[in-house]
Structure 1
Amino acid sequence: MNAPFAFAFPATFFVEAAGETSRCDDEVCFAKTVQIEGNEFKLVGTATYHFIFLDCYAAALYTRSGHASLESYRDTSQKILAVQYLRTISKDRIIDSSNETIDSHPDYDAANFSSELNQLYSLFHDVKDGDRAVLLFNFPSGVTLYFNSQRLGQFEGPEFTSAYAGVWLSPYSVGRRFTRSLLGAQ
């Protein structure tokens, strides 16, 4: 069983420029390794989510091993998803997109997680270019959400954690190419 982890910002996920210790995606640079609670997390991959012709956000996936697979959203390894928004997106659009993505997975139904999702969504607000979110996926303690360096909350439950990680990491994610890039495929 993995021990819960938390960290105080500023964690060094986001860096200012490309270099040997970083990787950039759409002008957003991510550190190749980060230290959290004495544990090193390695960058698996980066991706930019596009909607039609609009760049919405750049993201990076970190794991302890530096590796992940298409089934990673289900496994119990600790994972970190760091996101930097590239444009203004309404809270309602983020919520609708999350629910649609969870509902598209044949094993999950957003209605089964309505309590957890409602708690999570109550913390959401409109985002703007430059806003940053970090999601810590830790089994069995759940998902911890940070937004612009502030810890907003933790949401428990292994099935909920898998379903929410699946928004970005499952075969039924927000986008296949996006997920493949996050999982390290070039």
Structure 2
Amino acid sequence: MFRTITGLVASLGLALCTLAFTTSTAHAACQAGVVEPLEKVGETRLRVYFFKVYDAVLYTDSGNYPEDQSLALELSYLRDIEARQLVDTTRDEWQSLGYSVGQREEAWLQTLSEIWPDVADGDCLLAYAGEQQGVRFYNAEGELGGIDDDEFKQRFFAIWLSEDSSFRRNRDELTGER
């Protein structure tokens, strides 16, 4: 009996260590070398009611915001979310910011639905806007794709960085104002 319990505890400990290592590796791999030359501006944890949704980190060339420079937003998810829900929330947030969602925006949302995967607890997505036009998206497995439109870049990052963001406290933590 004692051996069985000891074996069970050892197996559980090994499983937890493996899970912790896998999550840590996935987080580091999400950056895909893109973030390494950038400096952290701020970070925050999004909670909706009692639910932890994701941890977010904002990076720029200088570690300051706002500046016209490279920008990366890393989201490390703390719960499972289907890609369709991510896309629908993007649409909702644009509307909340006062952006119309017409034919062009629907085309952007369609592209996002094709490139964004479902995310699980421990997964990450990275949005990067550098010298190229638009935004490129990455996860732990590498580049997912992107949208080459500077208007998309402005609207996408506004969800987190606009002063009219739905989650102002989180916005202020990301931009280093809090």
Report TM bin, short chain: 0.7 to 0.9
- In the superposition, the TM-score normalised over structure 2's length comes to 0.75
Q: 1:103 to 1:156 in 2, by over 3 A?
A: same
Whether contact under 8 Å (1:101, 1:172) holds in the other structure is no
- The one-letter amino acid of 1:185's match is E
1:109 aligns with 2:96: no
Which of 47, 57, 62 is matched with 1:60 structurally?
A: 57
Q: How does 1:8-27 map to 2 (within 5 A)?
A: none
Partner residue in 1 for 2:144: 152
Whether contact under 8 Å (2:40, 2:59) holds in the other structure is yes
Q: 1:36 to 1:122 in 2, by over 3 A?
A: closer
Whether contact under 8 Å (1:139, 1:161) holds in the other structure is no
1:135 aligns with 2:132: no
CA distance in 2, matches of 1:182, 1:170: 11
Whether contact under 8 Å (1:137, 1:165) holds in the other structure is no
Gaps of 5+ in 1: 1-14, 17-28
Q: Is the strand fraction higher in 1 or 2?
A: 1
Q: After the TM superposition, which of the residue ranges 131-140 and 52-61 deviates more from structure 2?
A: 131-140
Q: 1:130 to 1:174 in 2, by over 3 A?
A: farther
CA distance in 2, matches of 1:35, 1:124: 19
Q: After the TM superposition, which of the residue ranges 58-67 and 168-177 deviates more from structure 2?
A: 168-177
- Which segments of structure 1 move beyond 6 Å, counting only runs of 4 or more? none
What displacement does 1:95 show?
1.5
Whether contact under 8 Å (1:140, 1:158) holds in the other structure is no
What displacement does 1:126 show?
2.0
Partner residue in 1 for 2:7: none
CA distance in 1, matches of 2:33, 2:62: 13
1:169 aligns with 2:166: no
SS of 2:86 mapped into structure 1: helix
What displacement does 1:173 show?
2.4
Partner residue in 1 for 2:39: 42
Q: 1:133 to 1:35 in 2, by over 3 A?
A: closer
What displacement does 1:51 show?
1.1
Deviations 1:139-160 (A, max 9, x none): 5511000122321102111111
CA distance in 1, matches of 2:87, 2:147: 16
CA distance in 1, matches of 2:40, 2:154: 20
Q: Is the helix fraction higher in 1 or 2?
A: 2
1:99 aligns with 2:91: yes
- In the superposition, the TM-score normalised over structure 1's length comes to 0.72
SS of 2:115 mapped into structure 1: coil
CA distance in 2, matches of 1:100, 1:52: 18
- The one-letter amino acid of 1:67's match is N
Over aligned residues, Cα RMSD in angstroms?
2.5
